[in-house]
Amino acid sequence: DSGVTQTPKHLITATGQRVTLRCSPRSGDLSVYWYQQSLDQGLQFLIQYYNGEERAKGNILERFSAQQFPGLHSELNLSSLELGDSALYFCASSPPSGTVGTDTQYFGPGTRLTVL
Amino acid sequence: AQKITQTQPGMFVQEKEAVTLDCTYDTSDPSYGLFWYKQPSSGEMIFLIYQGSYDQQNATEGRYSLNFQKARKSANLVISASQLGDSAMYFCAMSRIYNQGGKLIFGQGTELSVKP
């Protein structure tokens, strides 16, 4: 158990719908990262937040958005869903800058999204 | 740009034997970290081991060791005394370190099967 929690574990929805994926980082971690894992694209970085602020952006579609709240938990919102959005979505967290192990990311169990 | 290459899509190893999973990387950054993650069939991503670009010694964590050859840009994972529970996908990844932006770039993975 990495200490990162994600809900829900599974999500089945239809094209055109909107869903919200939730993540709670490990206690004390300030950074939250979102990744998408699909068969054709592999593991792709989407976005990073650090202590509530967006720190880096990767291959995140405009239909996707994320935020990190004052309590440090995070949400990834996916809208106008398409069949190709079906994937495993991971949240990861890492310790604060300047602390031991700050560069290591610990992953949650993932949310498996199926778009029908 | 950073890139990770894993050239072995699948590998077999006999239980109790050692196995080496290959990983080569490309980056122009002087400060980077190299990581190995394990993904069992259940889907979670488990952090195994980390090597920093300035570390002089090869990293070890229990039965896992990272054979870091900087000049060759390789970061192979060695698993000693393989166990049936080691059967999984293994991903090599890299990121910038020292607060430069920590998104992970992943390789395509190697599927390891341990035979009894």
The alpha carbon dihedral of B30, A32, B85, B11 has a sign of negative
Task: Quick: pLDDT tens for B3-42.
Answer: 999 999 999 999 999 999 999 999 998 889 999 999 999 9
User: What length is written for chain A?
Assistant: 116
In angstroms, what CA-CA distances link B98 with A49, A51, A102, B2? 16, 17, 8, 16
Q: How far is B51 from chain A (nearest CA, A)?
A: 10
**In this predicted model, what pLDDT tens digit does every residue of A38-84 receive, in sequence order?**
999 999 999 999 999 999 999 899 999 999 999 999 999 999 999 99
Contact yes or no for B45 and A107 at CB 8 A: yes
Whether B95 and chain A come into contact, CB under 8 Å, resolves to: yes
In Å, how far is B80's CA from the nearest CA of chain A? 23
Q: Which alpha helices (H) appear in chain B, and where do they start and end?
A: none
* Cβ proximity of B109 and B39 under 8 Å: yes
pLDDT band for position A101 (50/70/90)?
A: confident
The average pLDDT across B56-83 equals: 97
Residue B101 has pLDDT above 70, yes or no: no
Does residue A116 belong to the interface with chain B, where contact is any CB pair within 8 Å? Answer: no
Q: What is the percent of chain B where pLDDT is above 90? A: 89
Candidate from B33, B103, B108 with C-beta closest to A42: B108
pLDDT at A99 over 80: no
3-class DSSP state of A113:
strand
Query: Can you tell me whether residue B104 is helix, strand or coil?
Result: coil
The two most distant CA atoms of chain B are separated, in Å, by 44
* Most distant pair of Cα atoms in chain A: their distance: 44
Burial B90-116 (b: 16+ CB within 10 A, else e): bbbbbbbbbeeebbbbbbebbebebee
